[in-house]
């Protein structure tokens, strides 16, 4: 007979709770089957937008809406929100290149044209200036890097050292 004072082993279902997860990861997993019924979705485009157009352009524009002619799944129009009219002009000049990149990424001729809507996206903030270490820290850094040959590794280590030295000053 079993001992009444022992606790029976706990049954597990195979799932573990790893802590908080990003809502976007959960929502994409839940909505993707629903969106798949309708074909290509703007959510898919938004998730992969930087890979399609590059990180520089992705900071300045964002896909808003994808529409197709009645009864078709190709030759659609992608409406893109832009930060300013200047960005819309830049994208208009790169129109064919962007359409080609998106269609190549998707593996089919999904887009035929782009439409732009100004607003709906905030312009990116300029990057803060790099921290400046004290002259003594800069001298120590130069001395520690003196034995390394000139090249990209030495430059990268120098940038890292300056950032860490400036952070330690705060």
Q: What integer pLDDT is reported at residue 82 of this predicted model?
A: 92
Q: What integer pLDDT is reported at residue 142 of this predicted model?
A: 92
Helices 23-37 and 42-53 pack at an angle, to 10 degrees, of 110
DSSP 108-119: S--EEEEEEEE-
Torsion of CA 71, 72, 75, 76, to 10 degrees: 60
Q: What integer pLDDT is reported at residue 2 of this predicted model?
A: 59
pLDDT by position in tens, the chain (length 170): 556 677 666 665 655 556 677 776 676 677 666 655 555 667 778 888 888 888 888 888 989 888 888 888 888 899 999 988 998 999 999 999 999 988 888 888 888 999 999 987 776 677 778 778 889 989 999 999 999 999 999 999 998 998 888 887 76
Coil, strand or helix: which one is 129?
coil
Q: Where are the beta strands (DSSP E) in 2-156?
A: 61-67, 76-82, 111-118
Q: What integer pLDDT is reported at residue 121 of this predicted model?
A: 77
Q: What integer pLDDT is reported at residue 47 of this predicted model?
A: 83
Q: What integer pLDDT is reported at residue 57 of this predicted model?
A: 86
Q: What integer pLDDT is reported at residue 51 of this predicted model?
A: 86
């Amino acid at each position: 007979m079993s001992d009444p004072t022992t606790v029976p082993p706990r049954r597990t279902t195979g799932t573990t709770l790893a802590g908080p997860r990003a809502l976007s990861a959960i929502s994409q997993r839940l909505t993707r089957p629903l969106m798949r019924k309708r074909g290509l979705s703007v959510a898919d485009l938004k998730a992969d937008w930087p890979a399609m157009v590059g990180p520089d352009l992705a900071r300045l524009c964002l896909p808003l809406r994808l529409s197709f002619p009645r009864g078709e799944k190709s030759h659609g129009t992608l409406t893109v929100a832009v930060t300013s009219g200047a960005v819309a002009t830049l994208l208009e000049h790169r129109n064919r290149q962007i359409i080609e990149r998106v269609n190549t990424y998707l593996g089919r001729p999904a887009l035929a044209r782009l439409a732009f809507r100004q607003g709906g996206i905030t312009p990116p903030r300029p990057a803060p200036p790099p921290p400046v270490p004290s002259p003594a820290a800069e001298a120590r850094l130069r001395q520690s890097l003196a034995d390394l040959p000139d090249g990209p590794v030495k430059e990268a280590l120098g940038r890292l050292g300056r950032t860490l030295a400036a952070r330690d000053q705060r």
